[in-house]
Amino acid sequence: MGMRVSTFVQHGSLAVLLGLAPSLLWAQTNCDDGAGPLSSGALQGTTQQQIIEKFAAKETLFKQARNNYTFRQDITVQEFDGLSVSGEYRSVRDITYDDKGSRVETVVFAPQPSLRQLAISREDEEDFRTKIAFVMTTEEIPRYNLIYAGQQHVDEIDTYVFDIAPKTIEQGQRYFQGRIWVESHDFQIVKTCGKTVPETVAGNSKKNKNVQENLSPTFVTYREQIDGQYWFPTYTRADDTLHFRMGDVRMREIIKYTDYKRFAVKSKIIYKGEVKDDPAQPPAKKP
């Protein structure tokens, strides 16, 4: 997932994000949960570049089509003291889009947060909107290195697997880094697992005791086919330990996307330079 969690620390130096010791009874984000063995054999009947071009074109369509759907986003972020939940952030939002395609959020449930070690930052909110539901469009492809990792059976679906990372890091920009699974028939991304980079530190002078750190947990996002056409994100989970200067913080994040519904805004889909009616919209009735 691409969430970043923020906290304020008093002293020390930024620790490197490390995995948990095997002795700790804590379930980390498992990118291979529900997946069969990875087959790294050579591609047959296609090339890496052809697959990339196909799924990037489908992702471009997906991004435009999703702007014609309303849905509900239910966000839960929890911090832990041992194995017990010690604080929680919760936000339930209805997502719509105006006639210009701009995202409109309506908060329907948001109790007072009880987080004590973590704080939801501006970067977190941006990740809730974009990076967690990562979209690899044709426009995004030049910004990333993609390496074919093999083929894998994931929850009854045959997929091509790619490892991706940004080519360069531009100031003020964040990127997805991790692994994506592409359905081998429809060439649509059905699963992503990774984190948002770069992780940032603000005010990290030795003399500055109020240091803000933004660390990203590893998250996995699953998609499901909606209306028989588009693979939209429906569930995100992160279980991780964030290594702040003040110490380690165990956290869990769960995001659910539900109630996808088309709404009556007439739009056009641009595909390979041609303008087409959005296939997600019902056909116009003849007079």
- Is 279 a domain residue? no
Count CA atoms within 13 Å of residue 165 on its CB side: 5
- What is the number of other CB atoms lying within 10 angstroms of the CB of residue 186? 16
- Is 170 a domain residue? yes
- Rounded to 5 degrees, φ, ψ at 104 are -125, 125
Nearest to 127 by CA among 64, 219, 226: 219
Question: Do 132 and 237 form a contact (C-beta atoms < 8 A)?
Answer: no
Question: How many independent structural domains does the chain possess?
Answer: 1
Q: Whole-structure pTM over 0.85, yes or no?
A: no
For residue 24, pLDDT over 50 is answered with no
- Is 285 a domain residue? no
- Is 112 a domain residue? yes
- Is 14 a domain residue? yes
Instruction: Verify cis geometry, omega within 30 degrees of 0, for the bond prior to 233.
Output: no
List, for residues 209-262, the tens digit of each pLDDT value.
555 788 999 999 999 999 998 999 999 999 999 998 889 999 999 999 999 999
- Is 184 a domain residue? yes
Question: Do 57 and 272 form a contact (C-beta atoms < 8 A)?
Answer: yes
- Is 38 a domain residue? no
Query: Which residue segment(s) compose the domain that 238 sits in?
Result: 5-19+45-261
